[in-house]
Each structure stands twice: as structure tokens, then as C-alpha cells.
Structure 1
């Protein structure tokens, strides 16, 4: 695959804050575009929800100059027993240069810092994300090992594969569930 950017360009991957709220719509558009291109399960996000994650300091944002090129957020479930790292997106021009890994590592660190005792999990259809998660210490699990919070699963409703999840009573889908438990040895970076 041919890269369309100069990878020597300065890229910043940082914890987001209130000042980044203005990028919520742009992030949602990036997620929606990726879902259409891939044709696989990526749940649609609402700009107000993404703005909330940015304001709460529960997200990681990547920039090339002043251009948003990547994002991921964290959300807690079941009274902070579980933390999901969700919404990972990298602008198409910046894929295949290790940016997704940088974003996921920062999201993982943020999850550990904010919620040290929580189990961290994610759902993905992406082989690249599965590899990154595996490198961070996640293991593939059945959905029964993930949160039972109905609000989490409702977030999958905008995914093209939601009918599968419903038919199986949240037991399986095309996504792979991955879990990292806090009391098990973790890899460092």
C-alpha cells in the first residue's frame, strides 16, 4: 500500500480535554466514512457523545499540525468494573504508520490511570486492532465475559451487524471480544 503522507511529519497523540470539543463532528464523520468504506461493523457515534468524552478527559486525540488524524475514547460500565476502549479511528492518509498502536497504547494507559482495578475490553472486526490489543495483553473472550450493561450493547444498534447480536441474545457477533484483566501481568511499552 502506498502512503499518502510524509511520516516524518510531526504527529502528536495526546489526552484530549475541553479545548478539543470542537473536533467532535469531524471525528464522527471520520468514523462514519470508515464504516462505509469497510462495509463492516463500526457503530455510528453522536457528536454530542464524542464531545462529552473529549470534555471529560476520557479520550485520546491525534493531530498532524492542527488536523485531527486519530481518536479513541474510554467509557466505564457496571460501576467502573469494566472500561471499554472504543471508537478507535485513524484518518485514511495516516494508516499503516503505527498511529493506531500509539492511540491504543495511550487509551490503555489512560484507562489504567483513571480506573486501575477495571477490566479493559473492546470489540473489533479489525485484524490490526486485534494484534494491537493482543500486544497490550488482551485475550479473545466470549461475550459472556464482557459487561452485561444493556447501555453498552445498545451502542451497537447502529452497526450493520446488530441483527446478529440481537438474534444471539448478545452472545456473539462478527466482532471479536477482547479483555485485559488488571490482576494479570501486563506487557509494557
Structure 2
């Protein structure tokens, strides 16, 4: 059966616990990233029409949701996960594209932001028009940074006063027309991996 990717409806709230578990196990496998979300939180995102779900029949395949900050000036596409049985099939890219389009429709004037350590996510974001930015260009409100509390690297972020961590910040500004697309993963490795390694070295010194 083909995997269907759609805006999550209220009847999909029954998957909230499974989504939380998938977010948790995915974070453990990566060794970084947000590890904990409650079923209540996921249900709220579904009920408010701010989530994308991927299903194969009745089987949960993937998920992502929208968060807003600074009076809707900033938007994040968060919690992108794909079940292990469905990985390496391009589903993450399809979910990412759909949640991005949904966020642009709901908040056309908002800047869309992403913080990640994953080269695959960086590549997908850049293809959508995101550009690397410093943390000073991300929301200053504490609510945004509290969202990182479930990450194992949160202590690094706190020690740097929310100005630096192992993640790379990326931003899509609807007022700026993308000038091109980076097509090779190698360019990401050359650009971002040395930055992350430098942060690790500094943190351990």
C-alpha cells in the first residue's frame, strides 16, 4: 500500500503515544536531538491542524509538526521522524516538503527556522531555500530554547547562553528570494562538520 502524507486530523490523535515513542527512539539512535514529547503535546498539535502525518494504511510511518514563536514571527518545522521500516525511501523528504508548504500557508510572513546536527536535514532545508545563520538570528524567547531541554546536548547550549551548540541554525526568510540550491552532501560536510568539531573541542577543553 502506498504511503499517504497528509495534514493530521483529530482522528489521528490515537497515534500520539506511538509518535512520542518514535521521536524518543529516533533521538536515541542519532545520539542527539529532541528526545521527549508528551502525548498531550502531540495531540494538541494534531487538533490545532499544525502537524503532518504519514500513514501506510493504518500503520504510522512518519510525522512532523509546527511550532510558533515571537508572536508568529518565527516558525519551526519540528519532530520530523520516520519509522525504521520505511527509511531510505524518500519519505522524510516528502514529509519535510509538506510540512514546509503547510507552514508557509499558515504563516506566510513568518521566518521558518531549523536547528539540527543532521547533514540530511541540512540538505533538505537548503534545497527549500534555508540559509545557515548564527544563533543570534534565532528567536530570543526562552520558550524557543526550552524546546531543546530534551536533547542530550542541552547543557552545552546552556553553558553558552543559548549562543552556540552542536546544532547548525538555518533560516528561511520569505522576504529573501533563494539564489540557488546546493546539490551535494560533500559541501555540507566541508562547511558544517568542522564547525561542530570545533565546538566539541572547545567544550571539552
Superposition map of 1:43-82 within 5 A? 43-82=35-74
Q: Paired residue for 1:173?
A: 165
Q: Paired residue for 2:13?
A: 21
Unaligned runs of 5+ in 1: 1-8
Q: Paired residue for 2:100?
A: 108
**Number of residue pairs the alignment of both structures matches:** 180
User: 1:42 Cα deviation (Å)?
Assistant: 2.5
Greater fraction helix: 2
3-state DSSP of counterpart to 1:148: coil
> Would the aligned equivalents of 2:131 and 2:170 in 1 still touch at CA under 8 Å?
yes
Indicate which of 30, 44, 48 corresponds to 1:38. Answer: 30
- Equivalents in 1 of 2:39, 2:174: separation in Å? 31
Unaligned runs of 5+ in 2: 181-205
3-state DSSP of counterpart to 1:182: coil
- Equivalents in 2 of 1:134, 1:34: separation in Å? 22
**Structure number, greater radius of gyration:** 2
User: Does 1:120 pair with 2:124?
Assistant: no
Provide, for residues 72-98 of structure 1, a one-character-per-residue CA deviation record: whole Å limited to 9, x for no partner.
Answer: 000110011000110000111111111
- Equivalents in 2 of 1:185, 1:102: separation in Å? 22
3-state DSSP of counterpart to 1:128: helix
Report the aligned-residue RMSD: 1.4
TM-score by length of 1: 0.92
3-state DSSP of counterpart to 1:157: coil
- Equivalents in 1 of 2:96, 2:4: separation in Å? 14
> Would the aligned equivalents of 1:43 and 1:155 in 2 still touch at CA under 8 Å?
no
